A = this chain, B = another copy of it.
Amino acid sequence: MNKVYIIKIGGHVLDDEPSLKKFLTDFAHIKAPKILVHGGGKLATRIGDQLGIQSHYVKGRRITDEQTLDLVTMVYGGLVNKQLVAQLQALQCNAIGVTGADGNLIRATKREVKGTDYGFVGDITPESVHSTFLYFLLKQNVVPVFAPLTHASGTMLNTNADTIASVLAIALSKHFEIRLLYCFEKAGVLRNVQDENSVISTLTKATYEKLLSENIFHDGILPKLENAFNAIQAGVKEVVIGEHKHLIANLGYETKGTLILP
């Protein structure tokens, strides 16, 4: 076992059945050891609305109160996660759905209150990852499917899926050659967010900082880029940001998305 793929999918593909089917079929075909990390999709918002759980935001960031924590634990850790696992099993991919609590795979620290109380949110570092157990699962040809949840002191915690993917990649990079793929609804990192043909094919740290100072990136891509560069600088060999429908192409060296370089 040498190369491990860590693939993160976001909400959009989860909300669209045919796209999800194609994505999972492609994912199941990857021969190398692999890990899937999923976000939430609109389902949590829809079910939350039905349950009368209101989302609270502070400075654009959602606050995870107790009700919201229950909601995301149900929807991300239960419904979304298990549906993905069942579908992958039908594609002969031996998936196991997990959160950070399962097998103590990712311990977190509940975010400290510094001015804003984000509620039940877990902060994690590469040291939070129980790599030994993850390695054992991969060795058994089992494919971990992570919901965006971690734990601390007996409670589940909400944790950003992009961060989970990056932290897993860094933790495993001590032992494996890791390619981390962020799959989303855009073709890659775009020079102009309106223009799908403006994919930046390779992005070094230097270029990234230059473009940052020019304010060309839109808000949605910034946390992904930050996670991507964190991973690259901490020893992850390759990071690609691209469209979920180009998964197979983005596994190779002629990617259709954006290849992040040190």
* Residues of chain A at the chain B interface (Cβ within 8 Å): 47, 50-52, 70, 73-79, 81-83, 85-87, 89-91, 94-99, 101-104, 133, 136, 140, 142, 149, 151, 153-156
In contact, A103 and B156 (Cβ under 8 angstroms):
no
- Inter-chain CA distance A155–B52, complex, in Å, is 28
Query: Which residue of B77, B97, B102, B140 contacts A101 across the interface (Cβ within 8 Å)?
Result: B97
- Inter-chain CA distance A156–B85, complex, in Å, is 9
Residues of B within 8 A of A99 (CB): 82, 85, 97
- Inter-chain CA distance A91–B155, complex, in Å, is 12
Residues of B within 8 A of A140 (CB): 133, 136
**A244 CB → nearest B CB, Å:** 19
| Assembly stoichiometry (copies) | 2
Residues of B within 8 A of A50 (CB): 50-52
Interface SS of chain A: helix
- Inter-chain CA distance A103–B133, complex, in Å, is 14
Q: Who on chain B is nearest to A92 by CB?
A: B104
In contact, A78 and B74 (Cβ under 8 angstroms):
yes
Residues of B within 8 A of A91 (CB): 154
In contact, A101 and B79 (Cβ under 8 angstroms):
no
In contact, A86 and B151 (Cβ under 8 angstroms):
yes
**A120 CB → nearest B CB, Å:** 11
In contact, A73 and B83 (Cβ under 8 angstroms):
yes
Residues of B within 8 A of A70 (CB): 79
In contact, A153 and B90 (Cβ under 8 angstroms):
yes
- Apart from A51-B51, A82-B102, A103-B142, what 17 extra A-B contacts exist at CB < 8 Å? A73-B78, A73-B82, A74-B74, A74-B75, A74-B78, A85-B99, A85-B151, A87-B154, A90-B153, A95-B101, A96-B102, A97-B98, A97-B101, A98-B102, A133-B142, A136-B136, A136-B140
- Inter-chain CA distance A47–B102, complex, in Å, is 24
- Inter-chain CA distance A120–B166, complex, in Å, is 37
- Inter-chain CA distance A138–B102, complex, in Å, is 14
Query: Which residue of B87, B96, B136, B153 contacts A98 across the interface (Cβ within 8 Å)?
Result: B96
A90-B154 contact in complex given A73-B82, A81-B78, A101-B97, C-beta closer than 8 Å:
yes
In contact, A79 and B78 (Cβ under 8 angstroms):
yes
Residues of B within 8 A of A154 (CB): 86-87, 89-91
**A29 CB → nearest B CB, Å:** 16
In contact, B133 and A104 (Cβ under 8 angstroms):
no
- Inter-chain CA distance A140–B83, complex, in Å, is 27
**A237 CB → nearest B CB, Å:** 28
